[in-house]
Amino acid sequence: MLQVVNPFLVAGFLFFMSLVAGTLSEKFKVPALILFLAIGMLAGVDGPGGLAFSDADAANQVGTFALAFILFSGGFQTRWEDIKPIVTQGVVLSTAGVLLTSIFAAIPIAFLPQFNYKDAFLLGSIISSTDAAAVFSILRTQKVGLQGNLKPLLEFESGSNDPMAVFLTLTALTWLQTPDVPLTELAIKFVVQMIAGGAMGFLMGRFACYMIQRLEVSNEALYPVWGICIVLTTFGLTETVYGNGYLAVYICGVVMGGGNFLYKYSLQRFHEGFAWLMQIIMFLVLGLLVNPKELINFSVISVGLLISFALIFFARPLAVFIGTIFSRFNVRDKLFISWTGLRGAVPIILATYPLTQGHPQAKFMFNLIFFVVLTSVMIQGKTLAGVAKLLKLDAVVREAKTYPLAFDITPGSGTDETREIDIDSDFAVVGHTVSELKFPEGVAILLINRGSKFLIPKGGTVLKADDTLLLFGDINKLNEVEENLTRKRSKE
């Protein structure tokens, strides 16, 4: 007889269904987060899968592990040049903005008969952070770009505000369990965690770049192992010295993303794929933990809707407008920043903490948070593109090119790199041949992307508007070449 349930077969099937769901999310413009969670719920005890899973501790550990790699990958993909103009504003929103959101969300919750003011602050803290993956997967599937510095601000804020939410949640639980704990002690703990987390992340990022550049690993396939080692060591070491591990891995990723070391491109690609795997595992486990029958409950639905609308239309906008009061963003920008406060996997992970610590209303809170996340993604996610267009903040999206070749930093490559340059219609080089460009020695055009085709350039190849050039050469010479190529045509 065939074995009824083989764990390897189950895991393979769930991963396959998640890949299918990812493809369908692009086609039907449904957030992948919703589909991953749905697969987990369908595989659970109330679905056709019938898998019984109720281990909140295991879900919490899986979520912590996965989130560390997701945050590191987000930092690793972040370009310092993009976030530099908005880093101060982003830090304000990811710290003070999260605190204000938790407080403003707690105010209406405290008036509900089910919760006291401490429980209200715990719930507000759990739902205080936004989800970068949810925001940008939706923008990508709906093919909407954003004007100005909105995209880097939202990317930086949503990628860096999870540590604050984790701290507030654990602080709220400490407050519940130890009512007489002094607020000064909690404030000192916060300062220590943030300073230690930021310092360890920066130091580990610099150390990782230094070591990778000097390690002589005979097999380049082992570099991803080094990448995993960096994340685990950074998170574990930071937590050991009482720092915030989530903040440390994110900053470590940002520092490494701005560094220059061997096989950087390969390592980025590996961590991007690994982060997606972590997201799928995390969503599946959280979906398994949910009992759909408990979600279809009047108390959960009514209270969940109240919390969702308080968060979307009161807490988040008020926190954003206060947090950006001294910024250069106008009212339309602030309205859109408020609307992109999508909740994702992090609040659901944080909702497992009360479960692990035996809070009397932990299960009800978990179901509420799950409902709030679903409501946020469905209401804000489905309307995100429309709101951007309504506020006239949308921009043309340039599709990322996938070239039939890839270059990486290898031993002996020195400061050589590849670079993409888009040719606009008003650039002076339009209509000129490649031979007329007179590049410095050591710089060459590898490929020209024109429409859906890739051309191998020759001396007589004429550059046209909307071409994308893939150049290769020394980084300093490429800067000079880019400046010449992007010079605009004289109007005389």
Q: What is the pLDDT of residue 131?
A: 79
Length of the chain: 492
**CA terminus-to-terminus distance, the chain:** 84
Q: What is the pLDDT of residue 400?
A: 60
User: What stretches in the chain show pLDDT beneath 70?
Assistant: 1-5, 29, 132-144, 396-415, 491-492
5-25 tens-digit pLDDT: 688 888 899 999 988 888 887
The Cα 392–Cα 179 span in angstroms is 48
255-293 tens-digit pLDDT: 998 887 878 888 988 998 998 899 899 889 988 988 888
Residue 388 token pair: 């951007």
**What is the DSSP code (8-state) at residue 259?**
S
Q: Please work out, in degrees rounded to the nearest 5, the angle formed at the alpha carbon of residue 358 by the alpha carbons of 357 and 359.
A: 100
Q: What is the pLDDT of residue 2?
A: 41
Q: What is the pLDDT of residue 110?
A: 94
Residue 193 token pair: 């965690």
The SS3 of residue 420 is: strand
pTM over 0.75: yes
> Three-state SS across 332-397?
HHHHHHHHCCCCCHHHHHHCHHHHHCCCCCHHHHHHHHHHHHHHHHHHHHHHHHHHHHHCCCEECC
Sketch out the chain's domains with CATH numbers. 7-395 (1.20.1530.20), 416-485 (3.30.70.1450)
Q: What is the pLDDT of residue 408?
A: 65
The SS3 of residue 289 is: helix
Q: What is the pLDDT of residue 202?
A: 96
